Each structure stands twice: as structure tokens, then as C-alpha cells.
Chain A
Amino acid sequence: QLQLQESGPGLVKPSETLSLTCTVSGDSISNDNHYWDWIRQSPGKGLEWIGNIYYTGITKYNPSLNSRVTMSVDTSKNQFSLRLTSVTAADTAVYYCAKHIGRLNWFDPWGRGILVTVSS
């Protein structure tokens, strides 16, 4: 059964870089047509799609975050990662990783989520 698990620091200082990793188990991150997404949820902005990555390294980002986001994939570890630079309090949220298939574009399953707080 496919499971995703987010990991990383729960506290990041303003202006620094948020770095999270999602570990995939029960499925190969290199499967054709599987895309790996990051989504965040904050009280103020609700659910916000951040972007996704394919195992070849091809990425697609939300234009609202495009200049600050970088995603990467490590197929040997079955992991993918998110970096968000120059964070502010507005980036405080629960961050989820999730999978979608090809052009189907709905997310299933999701990881449990990790709360990241931006504060000095």
C-alpha cells in the first residue's frame, strides 16, 4: 500500500529556507505517469497547490510561488523534496506531499502532513 511521509524542521526563521522531504513507500517514485506533489494548508489561505515533480526531474510550480520554490527527486532513496526560500510568517502552514497520476490531476494518497512554523 502506497504511503507518503513528510519530514523536516518544524520551525524556520523568517528570511531563511524551508526544506522538506517526502519519503515514498509501497510504490516506486520512478513509475511512469506518477507525479509527486506538494500542497500546503494554512488557516488564512486554505489549501494551496505548490507544485509537482516527475521522476525525471521535470517540475511544474504554482506561479504564485515560482520564484521561491525548488523541487528535486532522489530515485535511489524513493524521495522527493521541497525548498522554499525567503520564508515569512505567511508561509506557516501544514505541508503535505501527495501523488497524482498523469493527466488525472487529483491527489491520492496524501501524506499525514507536517506543520512548519515561520518564527524567530
Chain B
Amino acid sequence: DIQMTQSPSSLSASVGDSVTITCRASQSIRNSISWYQQKPGKAPNLLIYTASTLQSGVPSRFSGSGSGTDFSLTISSLQPEDSASYFCQQTYITPYIFGQGTKLEI
């Protein structure tokens, strides 16, 4: 299986700040990674796919980058509603593996 190591597990930031969450794959997955946002009691919501493509309706302050084994999700100009958990997922091959998640507190 391709493992996904996500960091940090939690972080705290202020409104207007910029934060970066990283995921490292245990082998190359090209650009086959997606990112999700999850708020308490809700299902994960797709933010980004193929490493950097923003899902329709997602604010442009969210961006993704990377290829091969190292990827990042950056949220700029943080808003209070960005307080949530964020997960990466490799979409390269089954079994599809998720990162352990990052809890972002604003």
C-alpha cells in the first residue's frame, strides 16, 4: 500500500494568516492527490484534486501544489470558517489511503 504521512497533526493560526499542510507519499504518485475539508459532525468535502485543481465553489484562498511524493495545501488569508480538519488522499492506486488529518484552529 502507498502510505500518506500528513503534518502537522494540528495547528493554530489567526484570521488573515497563511498556513501550509503537507503530505508525503511513500512512493511516487505523480499528481494523484486530493484534499478534503471536514467540519465536526459533517462528511469530508472535496477541496482540491490532481494536486492543484480547485473544486468548483471552493474559495481561491485554497491552493495545492506538489508532485511525485511531496504535496502541500496552503490556505491564505485565513477566515474563521476555515477552522476544520483537513485530509489528503492518494488517488493513484487502490487501496486509496488517506492522511491522518490536520486539525486547524483559527
Query: Within 8 Å CB of B46, what residues of A?
Result: 106-109
A-side interface residues toward B, CB under 8 Å? 46-49, 60, 62-64, 96, 98, 104-113
B residues 1-52 near A (Cβ < 8 Å) are 32, 34, 36, 42-46, 49
Closest Cβ neighbor of A103 among chain B residues = B91
A40 CB → nearest B CB, Å? 11
Chain A binding surface, main DSSP class: loop
When A and B form their complex, what is the total count of cross-chain residue pairs whose Cβ atoms lie within 8 Å? 52
Q: Are A62 and B44 in contact (CB under 8 A)?
A: no
Write the chain A residue with the least CB distance to B32: A105
Q: Which of B66-74, B75-83, B95-103 contacts A (4 or more CB under 8 A)?
A: B95-103
- A112 to B87, Cβ gap below 8 A? no
User: How far does the alpha carbon of A50 sit from the alpha carbon of B82 in the complex, in Å?
Assistant: 28
Within 8 Å CB of A110, what residues of B? 43-45
B106: shortest Cβ distance to chain A, in Å? 22
Contact across chains for B89 and A106 when beta carbons are under 8 A apart:
yes
Contact partners of A105 in chain B: CB under 8 A: 32, 34, 91-92, 96
Residue from the list B43, B89, B94, B97 in contact with A96, Cβ < 8 A = B43
